[in-house]
Amino acid sequence: MHVIYINIFLVNFIVSGCAIQWYFKKPIDWCYPLKAFITKHFGSVAGGSFLNAFFFIPNLFIDLCCNNKDAFCCNCFDLPRGDAYPYIYMTSTSFCPAVRQVQYLCKRSRICRGN
């Protein structure tokens, strides 16, 4: 199961790297995010995919039980996020600080309410 998750998040990392290249008007090539994955971010993507696979069932349980956005368990139980991979590619931070920063950005944004 862990191999499936690392493949999913590797594709997520490469696609988000191409989207970042497009946004900053750089030449779009999937080789650059793949090279960044192999040389710099392999541990972050592998560790993040392990944490996402490990916390999948608790995350599912909390999402089903805590429909109220002001509930104690929803505000205090931060789970790994799949949207941290673009932040890893842009800033070259590891997975856990990237998750914290993405969580902070989503809480402050009006666009990401409910994420």
pLDDT at 19: 92
**What pTM was computed for the model?**
0.75
Residue by residue, DSSP assigns 36-68 as HIIIIIHHHHHHHHHHHHHTHHHHHHHHHH--S
pLDDT at 77: 57
The pLDDT-based confidence of 10 (bands split at 50, 70, 90) is: confident
The pLDDT-based confidence of 114 (bands split at 50, 70, 90) is: low
Integer Cα distance of 54 and 80 in angstroms: 10
Q: What percent of the chain has pLDDT over 70?
A: 80
Q: Tell me the domain boundaries of the chain.
A: 2-108
